[in-house]
A and B are shown apart, each in its own frame.
Chain A
Amino acid sequence: MTYPDFNKTVTVDQVGIEERCSRFQARSIKKETKVEGLKLALNMIDLTTLEGKDTEGKVRQMCYKAVHLHDVYPGLPTVAAVCVYPTFVKTAKEALKTSGVKVASVATAFPSGQSTRAIKIADTKFAVENGADEVDMVISRGEFLKGNYNFVFDEIAAIKEACGKARLKVIFETGEISTLDNVRKASEIAIYAGADFIKTSTGKISPAATMPVTLVMLEAIRDYYYQTGIMVGMKPAGGISTAKSALHYLIMLRETLGNAWLSNEWFRFGASSLANDVLMQLMKEKTGLYQSADYFSKD
């Protein structure tokens, strides 16, 4: 494979991107279409808990929720995966067993990524050996901003190797790399270095996922697909908390990458509170009554 010169990636037309994003938010999705869209969104969620106060109990509780989202609504899908710290992978794996819900683990000194490569690789291997199906790594934003693109590329490639069969999601922390041009550049570096998914944010920095940033990443995926025929997944994470905005993202996905990406194999939402809002909207469509958070499980 030939690699492009990452010093010369295409620049992004910010005004054009923002105009396009505002169009995605003007579509009218109602009734059956809305219900199908919401179920799809639900099925794309990576239910996430990444806090210092996490315990095995908290993780088990979240895994239960991943499979039993709202049992009074028959026929609901499960979420796509749960996302936890490496130390909880084993717990999550046991709790989910045959449910089909995958276990994703953050690794590589998440969320800052400030550590040595040896530790990052060990972190990744620990997660994979404990049974993680997917690994969410963070890039070294400091090195990236210094212009040390080879370092970033090599690091992603090294983690990819450590992942083995686990799928690798690469987090850019777009709130720290600031410009859309940088987002495009990071996307290309990650994709060429072997990322299976590219992901916007850790959820620890604001702004997290936004529609313009996600669109730039989707376009990078599309251009790579045109050149090589290889599909790469996308995961916006953090800040998407309403069913309405989830539908906007799905519209953007459909109109940028097409139907092939409309499954949880190629698109995920990293979120914790989104699931409940989607469930409330689904119940609203089913019963005709506006819903209350009082009647949905908190975690």
Chain B
Amino acid sequence: MSRLEIIKTYKIYIGGQFPRTESGRYYPLKNKSGKVLANICLSSRKDFRNAVVAARAAFGSWSSKSGLNRSQILYRIAEMLEGRRAQFIQEMQLQGSSVKAAEDEVNLAIDRLVYYAGWCDKYQQLFSSVNPVASSHFNFSVPEPSGVVAILAPQENSLIGLVSAIAPVIAGGNTCIVLASENYPLCAVTFAEVINSSDVPGGVVNILTGSASELIVHFASHMDVNAVVYYGSNEAQIKLIQENAVANVKRVFIHNKANSLDEKAQGPYHILDLQEIKTTWHPIENIGAAKAGY
């Protein structure tokens, strides 16, 4: 007996849930020959607002988890991604990749998650310092997460681009809202399902689909967003972000012509981007000529 294929509904991911956009709007995603692959949610500014609320609510507990625990959770994402690799390869083929390119990209995405999992409890040592001061203080600086980060993911290489954008942000204890690639969003929605089954608390990662030109001003102007990360080279969009980010002096990071497939697209300095350095002056006994009193 023949059976009807059950086709997946591609939805957005907010606060650990998969709602449709509140606006009810969608856009048809077509392949190169014009065949409709899926209807994709065209997220509105209210979806973004809801995602920020979810990300803010999740920030407290995520940022206070131990580095080790965040590491375990990132590693778990890699495990889950490994288990779903066939689905990702199939979706990338649908979107026009060759099998070889798709396989390479999934492999790289898994490896990159493992790479950042390793960094979760190590970047702190790398970027912390004990500072020499001229008074009786023990003076030290440590990195702390910035808070809620809004990310406009790369348009090309939609899976590795997304992973390269998200992993360093959450490894450092931030929570994020990501706008997926407009033309290649299938992997992003499936990646949300991977995250949802990987012990990542709801709200730590929120993934929206839709139009960057529509949402970019809201990404940059929302007062409860602490940083904006942009992947791309559209000068008009970059200007919009820089202008709108001033209201609460957001940190803005523009990755112009970034190539996610490159080895240089990963590294602890990507974690440092979304950290703020806290310096503490701790009073101690007078430091003697030979040894400190602490």
Contact = CB atoms under 8 A, between A and B. Distances in A.
Interface of A: 289-295
A290 B46 CA distance: 10
Interface stretch (B16-24, B164-172, B220-228): B220-228
Contacts of A291: 223-224
A290 B222 contact: yes
A125 B254 CA distance: 66
Contacts of A295: 223, 248
A248 to B, nearest CB: 18
Interface of A is mostly: loop
A295 B248 CA distance: 9
Contact of A293 (B49, B218, B222, B224): B224
23 contacts: A289-B221, A289-B222, A289-B223, A289-B247, A290-B49, A290-B52, A290-B218, A290-B221, A290-B222, A290-B223, A290-B224, A291-B223, A291-B224, A292-B222, A292-B223, A292-B224, A292-B248, A293-B224, A294-B223, A294-B224, A294-B248, A295-B223, A295-B248
A271 to B, nearest CB: 19
Interface string B46-71: 00010010000000000000000000
Interface of B: 49, 52, 218, 221-224, 247-248
A293 B56 CA distance: 10
A292 to B, nearest CB: 4
Contacts of A293: 224
A291 B56 CA distance: 12
Contacts of A290: 49, 52, 218, 221-224
A289, A291, A294, A295 — which one has the most chain B CB atoms within 10 A of its CB? A289
Contacts of B222: 289-290, 292
A289 B248 CA distance: 11
Closest 9 CB pairs of A and B: A292-B224, A292-B223, A290-B222, A291-B223, A289-B221, A290-B49, A289-B223, A289-B247, A290-B223
Given A289-B222, A291-B223, 13 more contacts: A289-B221, A289-B247, A290-B49, A290-B52, A290-B218, A290-B221, A290-B222, A290-B223, A290-B224, A291-B224, A294-B223, A294-B224, A295-B248
Tell which of A289, A290, A293 has the most Cβ of chain B within 10 Å: A290
Contacts of A289: 221-223, 247
A294 B223 CA distance: 9
A293 B147 CA distance: 13
A78 B222 CA distance: 27
A34 B157 CA distance: 44
A113 B40 CA distance: 57
Contacts of B218: 290
A291 B247 CA distance: 11
Contacts of B52: 290
A54 B87 CA distance: 57
Nearest to A290: B222
A290 B52 CA distance: 10
Nearest to B223: A292
A289 B220 CA distance: 10
A34 B221 CA distance: 22
Contacts of A294: 223-224, 248
A294 B221 CA distance: 15
A289 B246 CA distance: 12
A293 B221 CA distance: 15
B217 to A, nearest CB: 10
B132 to A, nearest CB: 33
A298 to B, nearest CB: 15
B249 to A, nearest CB: 12
A127 to B, nearest CB: 38
Contacts of B221: 289-290
A291 B52 CA distance: 11
B211 to A, nearest CB: 18
B168 to A, nearest CB: 23
A1 to B, nearest CB: 51
Nearest to B148: A292
A284 B7 CA distance: 40
A294 B226 CA distance: 11
B144 to A, nearest CB: 15
A292 B59 CA distance: 14
Nearest to B45: A290
A92 B247 CA distance: 36
A289 B222 CA distance: 6
Contacts of B223: 289-292, 294-295
A292 B248 CA distance: 10
Contacts of B248: 292, 294-295
Nearest to A291: B223
A276 to B, nearest CB: 13
B273 to A, nearest CB: 21
Nearest to B48: A290
Nearest to B52: A290
A294 B52 CA distance: 14
A244 to B, nearest CB: 12
